[in-house]
Amino acid sequence: IKRDNKFGKLSKAHVKFFKDLLGAQSAVIDGVSQDATDDLEPFNSDWMRKYKGHTKLVVKPGSTDEVSKVLKYCNNNMLAVVPQGGNSGLVGGSVPVYDEIVINMSRMNSIRGFDEVSGTLVVDAGCILEIVDHFLAERNHIFPLDLGAKGSCHIGGNVATNAGGLRLLRYGSLHGNVLGIEAVLPDGTVMDDLSKLRKNNTGYDIKQLFIGGEGTIGIITGVSILCPQRSKAANVAFFGLESFDKVQEAFRAAKSQLSEILSAFELMDGQSQDLVHAVTAKKRPLEGQYPFYCLIETSGSNPDHDSEKLEKFLEHVMGEEIVSDGVLAQDETQIQSLWSWREGIPECLGHWGGVYKYDLSIPLPELYKLVEDTRERLTSVGLIGDDEKHPVVGVVGYGHMGDSNLHLNVATRRFDTEVEKKLEPFVYEWIAKRNGSISAEHGLGLAKKAFVGYSRSETMIRLMKQIKDLYDPVSRITPLLDCLMTNYTAERY
Ligand code: FAD
Ligand code: MLT
Ligand code: ZN
């Protein structure tokens, strides 16, 4: 990737400025005035080990004021930056692929306040999701987002990517739950829109641009968010099914019979579960093996009421042979164990080497067809096999069925151009034909930005460019949106 030479090069004087500003020794990791240190490595690579960064400087501001001073200095000195939260993103957006300064938010990790009556929580952007959720659990509340990376991702990163996760079907998107945002604009201006109001129709809702904005127009430093009451009763059931038609029937039945207590409906295909089993060697939840599995979670305020509903639902789906087999967790340990067969998929797929990840919105009836078509395409050219000669280990589908969000993943022994050529733009063309989205929840990042035209019209892309230009006239924050106008139909190879 070509570096834009309008950006300045880091000097020892720049490093001295940041060290003086941030004071604490651990707040600056410096590979400029001293030899590159191993300490920079975790900030220079992503969770998938797919993207490699080249930063020589990581700064960790401890307050909004420090973020503002850092950005103002970078702006005045034409230094490019990339905001980084927990670095768990899956599209390469948090990686300093050129030599940007990493602005890491981990020192901004205070919970600013929580109102138990309204459920309004105000946090620093660098708070880790799991820590916040534990804080809320002690107060009988829940964060309205949950995902497999909860142990490392930051609330700021979640908001910047508009993460969807496992319970969106129940609690809705962050666009609805986030009440306010405090952010620093590229020139250092602090935008204090940390409202706690549920309703506020006084002009444009500018904070929405930062939700899912992937750090392209500013750095989020604080978030206020509405958190629901934690349910007293939680149940998890895991089913094996014979076809994708049956999965759709089960989803319809769950919506109509479990209705308001349904909190997750997740899909896993047989091959994804085979690969999890191959890596973990854990005992499978069901005796037999099936082409499809789904995990259904309910949460409600009255355990008896929930059990009654669930029993009727189980009777229906078993009696009508919609599901072939199923198991209902009997305690918290079993709940966690069943969830691990779903949440553990991303990590297990990485076991062999590289994974090509596609995070797609597809109309439900055709959701799984893409997995079949992709598998057929790679099989027909002999790329899939059990030995080293074949780069592809497996083509799997899983995801948030309740949100029509499929994760198509191709697990490989190594990142391989031949495989990539067969997948792209094939997958994006397939999606565009069905008016789907090439990124349902992970964002564009570096991985998808050149393909945005498959999901957005020229007019929408132009409007996005105008917003980027307005907030960041010289592209000093992540230059992610720079390429939005790329002619997406052009051959990449
Ligand atoms: P990072 O990876 O550090 O950054 C992500 C992007 O946000 C980058 O562009 C970065 O520049 C920007 N950014 C980070 N912090 C800020 C900030 N304070 N201000 C402005 N910009 C910022 N995603 C889902 O939507 N649903 C899932 O179910 C899901 N499950 C996952 C499971 C696993 C195992 C993993 C590894 C990832 C998963 N993800 C999922 C991906 C998801 O995007 C991230 O986990 C999470 O939202 C990113 O948070 P982060 O703090 O790690 O951000
Ligand atoms: C998930 O739902 O598990 C995440 O979005 C991560 C992934 O797509 O692998
Ligand atoms: Zn997901």
State the CATH architecture for 12-104.
2-Layer Sandwich (3.30)
Examine the pLDDT at 37 and tell me if it is beyond 80: no
Region of 414 (left: φ > 0; alpha: ψ -120 to 50; beta: rest) is beta
Q: Please give the average per-residue pLDDT across 55-83, as a whole number.
A: 95
* 114 Cα: distance to centroid of ligand 1 (angstroms): 23
pLDDT at 253 over 80: yes
pLDDT at residue 492 in the model: 26
Mean pLDDT confidence for 141-168? 98
Question: In this structure, which long-range contacts are made by residues 21-29, counting pairs with CB atoms below 8 Å and at least 24 apart in sequence?
Answer: 21/66, 21/69, 21/70, 21/73, 22/59, 22/60, 22/61, 22/62, 22/66, 22/70, 24/62, 24/107, 26/60, 27/59, 27/60, 27/61, 27/62, 27/107, 28/57, 28/58, 28/59, 28/60, 29/57, 29/58
Residue 479, pLDDT > 80, answer: no
Cα 196 to ligand 1 centroid, rounded to whole Å:
24
Q: Closest residue (by CA) to atom 9 of ligand 2? A: 346
Please tell me the distance between residue 399's alpha carbon and the centre of ligand 1 in angstroms.
17
Per-domain residue ranges for the chain? 12-104, 111-226, 233-343, 351-483
CA of 407 to the centre of ligand 3 (A): 7
CA-to-CA separations, 243 to 249, 257, 267, 317, in angstroms, rounded: 10, 21, 12, 14
Q: Indicate if 233-343 has the same CATH topology as 12-104.
A: no
The CATH classification of domain 233-343, taken from the options 3.10.310.30, 3.40.50.1970, 3.30.70.2190, 3.40.50.970: 3.30.70.2190
Confidence of residue 480 (pLDDT cuts 50, 70, 90): low
Measured by CA distance, the residue closest to atom 2 of ligand 2 is 399
Band of the pLDDT at 376, cuts 50, 70, 90? very high
Residues 253-259, mean pLDDT to the nearest whole number: 97
Considering only the top CATH level, what class is 111-226?
alpha beta
Least confident of 274-288, 290-304, 319-333, 468-482: 468-482
Residues above pLDDT 90, as percent of the chain: 89
What is the per-residue pLDDT for 1? 64
Atom number of ligand 2 nearest to Cα 409: 9
The response to whether residue 407 sits with its C-beta less than 6 Å from ligand 2 reads: yes
Tokens encoding 50: 């797919």
| CA 161 to centroid of ligand 1, rounded, Å | 6
Taking residues 31-50, report their average pLDDT.
91
Q: Which of 82, 108, 129, 161 to mutate to test the pocket of ligand 1 (most atoms within 8 A of CB)?
A: 161
Say if ligand 2 is within 6 A of residue 359 CB: yes
Residue with CA closest to ligand 2 atom 6: 346
- Could you tell me the end-to-end alpha-carbon distance of the chain, in angstroms, rounded to an integer? 14
- Six token digits for residue 403: 């949100």
CA distance 444 to 466: 17
Residue 23 makes CB contacts below 8 A (sequence gap 6+) with none
- Read off φ and ψ for residue 223, nearest 5 degrees: -140, 135
Give the Å distance between the CA of 18 and the centre of ligand 2: 36
Q: 298: CA distance to ligand 3 center in Å?
A: 19
> Is domain 351-483 in CATH 3.30.70.2740, yes or no?
yes
Out of 128, 147, 219, 295, give the residue to mutate to test ligand 1, the one with the largest number of ligand atoms within 8 Å of its CB. 147
Return the H-helix or E-strand segment holding 234: strand 233-241
Q: Can you give the pLDDT at residue 292?
A: 99
Residue 98 has pLDDT above 90, yes or no: no
